[in-house]
């Protein structure tokens, strides 16, 4: 793969700094009501937001939102944004989706939650079993929660502690995956984690079966946890044979395997697990399947479910595997989940977003080529992005080279000032259901204008 100096030397860093300064000033000029509300908000919320991550999405102060409609949302200053991040894939169905709004409103009137199941729960598990190919399902509040429970179940079944994740991973804000490799040792990657939080996690390069085998051969690993394609460090696609190899090695060394489809469930009907026919012991999905209504799920095989069922932790009696929570699996979340699976996430819907994703990637590559840039667009169904090199990355270390912070910061604010929202540094533009070819063309055109401004 090309080195940074070869593939990114066309970026004029002086121009980039000027663009950033000008665009930051313009952003502040356009968002004065948000700035006033932020001042008020800081009195009772750190950084003035209910979840502090919201301030990290851009370097500019947070904007406060009035409403959304389809593919766009509008802030309290009246600025409209065509959203290409779709809340990190938790709002892929579009803002104010009528089918979801109707299902949620109906269920809210009939009772949000009973701490007991209804028919919707049964239908959702049947639909997931049919689409994803894992026969048994449990519901959590989030994909993070699903991963936590999968880790617990895997540890119980295998009697082992360690787990493997791949560099470039993200599986939620859970202590044991907030880990990075530093010179062959796992270290905590964020603040506030207890000593030893990284002790049971081993980070291996993606697409490296030899490295994986070395770790699994110790016989200490309970679980390998990975996305089918890594989507949290730009996009890293599996090489041919990689997944078959992971499955074969995990079986050979008695390790369980979980495929985390928190993002990639939106990439293909039945997720990439369904589309690529991937075998695993667990599958995780979440983000309310793109409805924004909090819900995570995990699916498991007959063998896992048999043990899980016998060792569940119920209210009384001998303690089993701790899973669940009081607002997991509400009637409201399951009504939304049923509606989205039955009526929104149809095969035709996936075809639509795949075609839009191809237009987005083709469009970006055309813009790069027009300017003689040897760059590529990331491509994974509806997900695209900026690969600053002629070759796509094979692993996290290579993918990280395209995370040029100054470039991304300047691009985000430049595009926001032109009505395009493209947040989350390590993601990329994502085509979603409410987008049209016109929207894609607008994104691509604005990206081209930005390149002209900084080359
Ligand atoms: C692959 C993957 N797993 C898990 C999560 C965590 O999802 P949530 O924050 O909804 O729990 C994410 C979030 O981006 C993700 O990308």
**Residue whose structure tokens are 């533009």:** 429
Q: Write the burial class of residue 46 (CB in 10 Å: 0-12 exposed, 13-18 middle, 19+ buried).
A: exposed
* Residue 166 pLDDT: 98
Q: Is 286 in the pocket of ligand 1 (CB under 6 A)?
A: yes
d(CA 204, CA 210) in angstroms, rounded, equals 10
Q: Which residues have CB under 8 Å from 369's CB, separation 6+?
A: none
Q: How confident is the model at residue 132 (pLDDT cuts 50, 70, 90)?
A: very high
* Residue 316 pLDDT: 78
Q: Which residues have CB under 8 Å from 361's CB, separation 6+?
A: 377, 378, 379, 384
pLDDT of 80 > 90? The answer is: yes
Q: How confident is the model at residue 6 (pLDDT cuts 50, 70, 90)?
A: low
- Residue 126 token pair: 């049947």
Q: Which DSSP string do the residues of 343-397 spell out, in sequence order?
A: IIS-HHHHHHHHHHHHHHHHHHHHHHHHTT---EE--BTTB--EE-SSS--SSHH
Q: Report CA(367)–ligand 1 centroid distance (Å).
A: 31
d(CA 200, CA 177) in angstroms, rounded, equals 10
Give nearest CA residue, ligand 1 atom 7: 143
Q: Is 383 in the pocket of ligand 1 (CB under 6 A)?
A: no
**Residue whose structure tokens are 């026969």:** 135
Whether the predicted model's global pTM rises above the 0.95 cut = yes
* Residue 8 pLDDT: 80
Q: Report CA(127)–ligand 1 centroid distance (Å).
A: 21
**Tens of pLDDT along 305-357?**
999 999 988 877 788 999 999 999 999 999 999 999 999 999 999 999 999 99
* Residue 3 pLDDT: 47
When pLDDT is averaged across residues 405-410 and rounded to a whole number, the result is 96
Pair type for strands 420-421 and 80-83: parallel
* Residue 5 pLDDT: 53
Note the helical H segments in 79-233.
Answer: 86-89, 98-110, 119-132, 143-158, 209-216
User: Which CATH number is associated with domain 99-344?
Assistant: 3.40.640.10
Q: How confident is the model at residue 288 (pLDDT cuts 50, 70, 90)?
A: very high
CA 47 to chain centre: 24
When pLDDT is averaged across residues 93-97 and rounded to a whole number, the result is 98
pLDDT of 161 > 90? The answer is: yes
Q: Which residues have CB under 8 Å from 177's CB, separation 6+?
A: 147, 165, 169, 170, 171, 201, 225
Give nearest CA residue, ligand 1 atom 6: 172
pLDDT of 281 > 90? The answer is: yes
Q: Report CA(53)–ligand 1 centroid distance (Å).
A: 13
If you average pLDDT over every residue of the chain, what do you get? Answer: 96
pLDDT of 370 > 50? The answer is: yes
Pocket test for ligand 1, best of 51, 91, 139, 144 (most atoms within 8 A of CB): 144
d(CA 122, CA 288) in angstroms, rounded, equals 16
Q: 63-83 in b/e burial notation, b at 16+ Cβ within 10 A?
A: bbeeebebbbbbbbbebebbb
Instruction: Please provide the size of the chain in residues.
Output: 455
- CA-to-CA separations, 320 to 163, 281, 314, in angstroms, rounded: 21, 20, 7
Q: Which atom of ligand 1 is nearest to the CA of 89?
A: 14
What DSSP character marks residue 46? G
pLDDT of 2 > 50? The answer is: no
pLDDT of 7 > 80? The answer is: no
Contact criterion met (CB below 8 Å) for 205 and 262: no
When pLDDT is averaged across residues 9-16 and rounded to a whole number, the result is 93
Q: Please identify, in words, the CATH class of the domain defined by 4-96+347-454.
A: alpha beta
Q: Report CA(248)–ligand 1 centroid distance (Å).
A: 26
When pLDDT is averaged across residues 206-233 and rounded to a whole number, the result is 98
Question: CATH 3.40.640.10: which residues of the chain?
Answer: 99-344
Q: Is 227 in the pocket of ligand 1 (CB under 6 A)?
A: yes
When pLDDT is averaged across residues 262-269 and rounded to a whole number, the result is 97
Question: CATH 3.90.1150.10: which residues of the chain?
Answer: 4-96+347-454
| Weakest mean pLDDT among 35-39, 54-58, 91-95, 270-274 | 54-58
């Amino acid at each position: 793969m090309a080195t940074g100096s070869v593939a990114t030397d066309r970026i004029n860093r002086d121009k980039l700094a000027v663009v950033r300064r000008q665009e930051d000033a313009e952003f502040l000029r356009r968002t004065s009501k948000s700035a006033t509300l932020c001042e008020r908000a800081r009195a009772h919320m750190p950084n003035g937001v209910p979840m502090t991550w919201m301030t990290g999405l851009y370097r500019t102060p947070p904007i406060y939102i009035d409403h959304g409609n389809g593919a766009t949302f509008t802030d309290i200053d009246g600025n409209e944004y065509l959203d290409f991040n779709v809340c990190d894939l938790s709002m892929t169905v579009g803002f104010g989706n009528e089918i979801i709004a109707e299902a949620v409103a109906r269920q809210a009137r009939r009772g949000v939650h009973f701490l007991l199941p209804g028919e919707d729960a049964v239908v959702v598990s049947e639909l997931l079993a049919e689409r994803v190919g894992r026969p048994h399902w449990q519901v959590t509040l989030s994909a993070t929660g699903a991963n936590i429970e999968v880790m617990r179940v895997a540890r119980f079944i295998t009697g082992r502690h360690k787990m493997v994740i791949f560099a470039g991973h993200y599986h939620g804000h859970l202590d044991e995956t907030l880990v990075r490799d530093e010179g062959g040792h796992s270290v905590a990657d964020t603040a506030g984690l207890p000593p030893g939080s990284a002790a049971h996690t081993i980070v291996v390069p993606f697409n490296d079966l030899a490295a994986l085998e070395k770790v699994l051969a110790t016989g200490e690993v309970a679980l390998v946890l990975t996305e089918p394609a890594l989507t949290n460090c730009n996009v890293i696609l599996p090489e041919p044979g990689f997944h078959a190899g992971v499955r074969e090695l995990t079986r050979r060394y008695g390790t369980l395997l979980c495929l985390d489809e928190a993002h990639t469930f939106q990439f293909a009907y039945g997720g990439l697990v369904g589309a690529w026919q991937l075998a695993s012991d667990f599958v995780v999905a979440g983000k309310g399947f793109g409805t924004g209504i909090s819900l995570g799920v995990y699916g498991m095989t007959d063998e896992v479910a048999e043990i899980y069922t016998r060792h569940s932790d119920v209210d009384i009696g001998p303690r089993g595997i701790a899973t669940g929570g009081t607002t997991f699996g509400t009637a409201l979340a399951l009504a939304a989940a049923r509606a989205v699976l039955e009526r929104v996430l149809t095969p035709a819907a996936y075809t639509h977003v795949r075609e839009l994703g191809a237009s987005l990637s083709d469009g970006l590559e055309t813009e790069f080529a027009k300017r003689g840039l040897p760059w590529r667009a990331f491509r994974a169904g509806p997900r695209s992005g900026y690969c600053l090199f002629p070759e796509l990355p094979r692993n996290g270390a290579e993918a990280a080279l395209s995370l040029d912070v100054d470039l991304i910061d300047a691009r985000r604010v430049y595009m926001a000032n032109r009505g395009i929202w493209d947040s989350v540094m390590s993601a990329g533009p994502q085509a979603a259901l409410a987008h049209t070819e016109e929207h894609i063309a607008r994104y691509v055109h604005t990206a081209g204008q930005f390149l002209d401004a900084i080359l």
